Amino acid sequence: MTTPVRVLIADDQALVRSGFAMVLSVEDDIEVVGQVANGAEALAALAATDVDVVLMDVQMPVMDGIAATQRVVGEDLAKVIILTTFDREDYLFDALAAGASGFLLKNADPDDLVDAIRAVAEGHALLAPEVTVKVIARLVSEGRGPAAVPAGQPARPADPATARAVASLTAREREVLGLMAEGLSNAEIAERLFLGESTVKTHVSHILTKTDSRDRVRAVVLAHRIGLVGAS
């Protein structure tokens, strides 16, 4: 029997915690091992319990989700999925830098929550498409992320390592990366390119390896920096 993915829920709203826990309780391959109300409690729980994935709210008392995520990822305690709402999207930029592996809207469908946990636990990254587009667009417009070039224009890598990484991508991998940056899921990319989803997953894995991107989030930022968005 496969060991269930062990999940810790960190949110200062009890109803939100219980709601997520209820959704996850029916999944045989996911186990909620704890619920905490802030980042400090999350760190304490991680010190006492093995956890694979933390569902982390951003705005919490004592220690917010950004500071907690930085500690959790920096100390390799677990992977983190940031829970957010559109009215607090500004927090996402700092969470991205802190090392979160996924971003999910609090009003996401239960199936999306489950899929996100499974994907992140397997070493992938999960970005809600709505969040991907909004976050990266604002990163670029506010100058808080890497400067973008117009879609479809030749890449202008920031350094030799990036240049080598981009040059190593095949035409198909560049195409897939561009669609990732537009917020498409693997299934949507597969449909767009008339490929099998397993083939898309393989391309994504190669992209992450070649670009030395820890997860999908970093690859998406790279795609915007080199002007791949809309180029596919």
User: Considering the domain boundaries, does residue 91 fall inside one?
Assistant: yes
Buried b (16+ CB within 10 A) or exposed e, 90-123: ebbbbbbebbbbbbbbbebeeeebbebbbbbbee
pLDDT at 89: 60
User: Considering the domain boundaries, does residue 140 fall inside one?
Assistant: no
Domain encompassing residue 202: 146-225
CB 125 within 8 A of CB 216: yes
pLDDT at 65: 92
Last residue of one domain, picked from the residues 93, 124, 155: 124
CATH code, domain carrying 175:
1.10.10.10
CATH code, domain carrying 84:
3.40.50.2300
pLDDT at 183: 73
pLDDT at 128: 62
User: Considering the domain boundaries, does residue 18 fall inside one?
Assistant: yes
CB 106 within 8 A of CB 16: yes
Shared-domain flag, residues 70 and 177: no
pLDDT at 153: 43
Shared-domain flag, residues 119 and 167: no
pLDDT at 150: 41
- 126-127 vs 53-57, strand pairing mode: unpaired
- Average confidence (pLDDT) per 10 residues, the chain, 232 residues: 90 94 94 97 96 94 93 93 72 74 83 88 69 60 46 51 85 92 83 93 91 78 73 48
Q: Which two tokens stand for residue 103?
A: 């971003």
Shared-domain flag, residues 117 and 154: no
Number of structural domains (the chain) is: 2
Alpha-carbon distance of 100 to 161, in angstroms, equals: 23
